[in-house]
Chains A and B, each alone.
Chain A
Amino acid sequence: MIVRFFSQAWLNAKVHQGGLNMTEFLAYKVGVSVSTLMLYVLIARYTTGLVDLTAWVVGNAFALCVYECIFNIGGTFNAERFSGRLRAIVVSPTSKLAVIMYNGVSSIVVGFITITAAFVVGGLIFGVQFADINIAMFALSILAAAVACVGLGLLLAVFALITDSMYLMLNALALLIIIFSGANFPVSQLPVGAQYIANIFPLYRSVAAANLSIGGSFSPEYWRLLLGEFILGLSFYLAAFLLIKAIERVAVKKATLEMF
């Protein structure tokens, strides 16, 4: 079963990444990530006038998780629909969540590469003092962010069985995650109601935890944020697990599988 999982993951990786040569990979994956990070950090530099932009570099490096985890994992069934494989997947006895998960393996690997590259390049451009960052705290924050983002991607992917508006939904959520992450401005600037909503979005806690890793040490506040992010991520997995059967049934009943 494990061998099958990884052979399917490898096949998916070849489907998604195999069409790119090295130059295209660097331009599309790394180049776009670096420019996204630079765009927000340069706006922050202009608006705040600050020299130390470490918090924005860290926050926006985390926000890049959104592009790989939300778009690629969340768009799994949408992509299968376009390649004409969705019906075969639905009628096969295989676990539908496993299909999303093995699609997610390459997203996680590519996401890790692009985020690391963007963080290092962005850090060098904006003079981040890497020595000030507590690596263990930072790594754990990345892990928590990845768990939460992949979980949300998994949950979103399920909805592709009943809607043809996935790109609208994924793009809107990606921007909402960036707004509620606190990567570019404090969430406390938003109206009180919106601040409560931020609690159910990934990255809100992990970005705050990552910021504590700059010149900080493990503290109860850090563990509270980290635990919160892990619990949020696990809730997404649970919700996806509970919803998939019901949504699959609705999709078959309403014949929405081939809806373009």
Chain B
Amino acid sequence: MNSSSVLLTSMLVQMKQTFARNMFKFTLFVGPFLTTIILGEMYRHSTADNFVAYVVLGSGLWNLWNCIAFSSAGDINRERFSNTLSIIFSAPADFRLILLGKIFGNTILSLGSFFLSVFFAIILYRPPVIVNSWGLLMLSLILTIAAFIVMSIFIAYLLTLSRKTTIYMNCLEIPFTLICGFAFPIENLPQKLQYIAWLFPPTWAVRLLRHSVTQQAHGFWENFIPLIISTIVFALLAAWLYRIIFRQTKILGTLDMA
């Protein structure tokens, strides 16, 4: 089986399995509707500058992150509970490709939650949709998806060693939504948290997306360069982490410890 077949098969199986889960149906359909209402109502009478930048994109990114945190990270746990983790880890097909296929599958489905949030926000609140540059918005969206995929791989590797993935999944959702500034500008955070936020690609991705809509969230290059650098750093960290985990799982033999 060549690499592209492994990737494609893993992606398709993942999409079928994920879509069958009721919890994913919540994160895909129900969550976007309800979080859009929360954000929309909080922003309804606000003096904040742009409804589209914070409610439409904010709820979309919030839900995209939820899907990623609860799907890509949780998949390791699901494989462990169904006793297939050690099998896919030791199969002749590269574990990295299998995992990447899973993450691609999840990301494609998760984009549904992003677009549904945008749809709900526009239908419910009918904001004037003024986009500074559609081309820039598309480019920002592609870079955002790439950044989220890299974060997913990093998190999934990180959780391979642990048996407490459910706990860590829950620890990821809200804190990242908070410090990456999905729902408000990170300048609102205490200074020390802002330094932490700068380390993560989603922070810059959000700013780049907002810039493409409002042109107020600092310049394009100010966000584009840190986004590319932080994404590359996390990709390298993920590759390094894989080598460590590959070694550790063989030494400790903990893959099937549920």
Q: Does B171 contact A (CB under 8 A)?
A: yes
Q: Is B175 an interface residue (CB 8 A)?
A: yes
Choose from A39, A45, A164 the contact partner of B174 (Cβ within 8 Å).
A39
B interface, by DSSP: helix, strand, loop or mixed? Answer: helix
Closest CB of chain A to B217's CB: distance in Å?
13
B43 at the interface (CB under 8 A from A): yes
Quick check: A39 and B170 within 8 Å, CB to CB?
A: no
The number of chain B residues with a CB under 8 A from chain A is: 33
Interface contact A42-B189, CB-CB below 8 Å = yes
Q: In the assembled complex, how far is the CB of residue B145 from the closest CB belonging to chain A, in whole angstroms?
A: 23
Complex Cα spacing A46 to B181, Å: 12
Interface residues of A in 11-43 (CB under 8 A from B): 19-20, 24, 27-28, 31-32, 35-36, 38-40, 42-43
- Contact between A46 and B30, CB atoms less than 8 A apart: no
Does A105 make an interface contact (CB < 8 A)?
no
Of the listed stretches A144-152, A176-184, A201-209, A213-221, name the one at the interface; the rest are far from the partner chain.
A176-184
Q: Using CB atoms, name the residue of chain A closest to B181.
A: A42
User: Interface residues of A: mostly helix, strand, loop or mixed?
Assistant: helix
Q: Are the C-beta atoms of A46 and B38 separated by less than 8 Å?
A: no
Which residue of B25, B39, B167, B174 contacts A24 across the interface (Cβ within 8 Å)?
B167
Q: How far is the CB of B159 from chain A (nearest CB, A)?
A: 13
Q: List 14 A-B contacts (CB under 8 A).
A: A24-B167, A27-B171, A28-B167, A28-B170, A28-B171, A46-B46, A46-B188, A47-B184, A168-B30, A171-B23, A171-B30, A179-B38, A179-B41, A184-B42
Q: For residue A171, which residues in chain B have a CB less than 8 angstroms away from its CB?
A: 23, 26, 30-31
Contact status of A43 and B39, CB under 8 A, knowing A35-B174, A168-B25:
yes
Q: Using Cβ atoms and an 8 Å threshold, which residues of chain A touch B30?
A: 168, 171-172, 175
Binding site for B on A (CB under 8 A): 19-20, 24, 27-28, 31-32, 35-36, 38-40, 42-49, 125, 164-165, 167-168, 171-172, 175-176, 178-179, 184-185, 189-190
Q: Does B126 contact A (CB under 8 A)?
A: no
Chain B residue at minimum C-beta to C-beta distance from A47: B46
User: Do A179 and B174 touch across chains, with their CB atoms under 8 A apart?
Assistant: no
A40: B residues at CB distance < 8 A? 42
